[in-house]
Structure 1
């Protein structure tokens, strides 16, 4: 008799090889999240000093708005956007390590839930960027044909 697929999944066990792969994945996720947080810190520092940096550029004075303030906003926006996937990656790493150490199914499920959130964020962000590229191409073609 074939059981319910959900019941079959509840019987899933993680063998030694899979546990080893998950442990290594958690280590790499931790490393990448630390590098991501360092990158976010650099973006914030750059945002803080962008006013000074752009005021030192003579061509920046020809722009009709405060370029330093605009770049501060842009860098802070990038830092905020970059924070979420990096934070999700850090959470995945910590929860996966804890789940493997304690053999707790609930923590393991939470780890995968956070990993799903990480990839969902990256996926939605990718769709948005590709849509902006498509709009830019359409606007460029239309503008080019009008000239």
Structure 2
């Protein structure tokens, strides 16, 4: 015979106190996502101007990477790539804010689920990104150890 879990019949109750807490959380996540979009805009603008200025001539004659065939203008591209990477978690946070606000004001279960789906995606992206960055640090440390040992 199949046993039922206590969670099979569990209904989650969203009380008025929880709704107030979610509404306050939504305000803060909306604020942080707007600041994130502004930061992304600054990264893109800075990357474009930095790349253009560096390729145009500011360090054209004093390029320390010239022997490797690397233009200083490519450093601006790094900022644009950083902005692109940062865009997705900020978008997930923004969508969480929007959907949760809609769910709380209209008592909409679909928006409530979508809000938490976006919040999960935000944290999943940040978790995977953190693992990738830590892996790069570990790899750089190992390469540095081997490079130091060869001298």
Common fold: TM-score over 0.5: yes
Q: Which of 138, 142, 148 is the equivalent residue of 1:138?
A: 142
Distance 1:21 1:97 in 2: 12
Distance 2:135 2:64 in 1: 32
Stretches of structure 1 lacking an aligned partner (at least 5 in a row) = none
Change (3 A) 1:62 1:135: closer
Corresponding position of 1:42: 42
| Larger helix proportion of the pair | 1
Q: Which runs of 4+ in 1 moved over 4 A?
A: 1-4
Q: Which of 105, 108, 112 is the equivalent residue of 1:101?
A: 105
CA contact (8 A) 1:60 1:67 kept: no
- Deviates most, 57-66 or 78-87: 57-66
Distance 1:62 1:135 in 2: 25
Structure 2 length as normaliser, TM-score?
Answer: 0.88
- Deviates most, 116-125 or 71-80: 71-80
Q: Which of 41, 58, 74 is the equivalent residue of 1:56?
A: 58
Stretches of structure 2 lacking an aligned partner (at least 5 in a row) = none
Q: Does 1:118 align with 2:127?
A: no
Corresponding position of 2:91: 87
